[in-house]
Amino acid sequence: MSRTANDCSSVTVKMGSAKLNGQAMAEFVIVVPVLILLIFGAMQVALIFSAKTTLNYATFQAARIGAVNHATYSGIRKGLIRGLAPLFTSSNTRRGPQVAQDIAAGINSDKSDSGTKRDALSEVDAFVRIVRVSPGIDMFGTSASGFGELNADGIVEIPNSQLMYRDASVKTGVNIQDANLLKIRVQYCYKLMVPLVNKIIGSLSELNNTRVSYQDYETVGDPRFADANRYSANEAADSTKSLASYDELCSGRGLLTGRVEDNTGFIISAEAIVRMQSPAYEEDDNEALAKFMCDGDRMSCP
């Protein structure tokens, strides 16, 4: 039985259709992973931007509260907890009234159950360093070299009242008015949370072992995102001796699981400056938190 021309044409069309279907499948396999990475990457970048914006506000809130609480660690910490609380309101463990409870706990005392929770209090205690840039520790000198005075409680303070009538002579490079400016810098080891993308961003430094440190990227020609963030933090820490390095800030301080080993930490920072509304103290008058005041870990005072 002979095959007609129509039959041959039909077979050819079917074979062509099969080839097109195979091509579409190959294109799908190639494009979809890239598309997923782009979508997830955009989500992660948006979350980092949101965290940076929130940290900017939290730092300003911390400076404002610190200005009326003697520029102490407890006062600045209180403002940071309040300001960072919006980052964690979507957590199943922190909804509605519990956000207020988190803030209240941060104001009054440490929570015994904070070790396993990602809330504002535990994040501040485990992954934040506060740098009180001004007033510097040398401004509290009680001799002719500083502005310090001993108050009724036996704490050295920089006076805040009647500034316009006080001696305006320069000590430690500033006068009494400038010594009453509170400037803080906050470093925060933010957790990269988007699945897959966080591992890719955090592990980029492991893809190529042809160089020892980020400084060598000019000769090797392979700078990478994770190393850039880590190196920038470490370089700043080395130059100032007050900022935290990547390993220091992302260690978790034994309170939470660290973010160093899996490189899921991403360091962001913010600054704020306000005028003091109370005398700045050399020591923290909060007994529970006094040990962290200018301890060089949670707070540094250059």
pLDDT tens across 110-159, in order?
444 444 456 788 899 999 999 999 999 999 998 778 899 999 999 999 99
* Euclidean distance between CA atoms 207 and 213, whole angstroms: 14
Residue ranges per domain, the chain? 12-131+185-274+284-300
Q: Looking at the predicted structure, is the pLDDT value of residue 76 above 60?
A: yes
* pLDDT confidence of residue 219: 45
Confidence band, pLDDT 50/70/90 cuts, at residue 299: very high
Across the chain, what does the average pLDDT equal? 78
Model confidence band, residue 2 (pLDDT cutoffs 50, 70, 90): low
- Residues 39 and 102: their CA atoms lie apart, in Å, by 33
Burial class of residue 63 (count of CB atoms within 10 Å of its CB; 0-12, 13-18, 19+): buried
Residue bearing the bigger pLDDT, 204 or 47: 47
Rounded-to-integer distance, Cα 72 and Cα 78, Å = 10
The more confidently predicted of residues 91 and 6 is 6
End-to-end CA distance of the chain: 98
- Over 70: is that where the pLDDT of 289 sits? yes
Mean pLDDT for 41-48 is 86
Work out the angle at residue 119's Cα, subtended by the Cα atoms of residues 123 and 56, and round it to the nearest 5 degrees: 60
16-20, 30-34, 266-270: least confidently modelled range = 16-20
Bigger pLDDT: 205 vs 34: 34
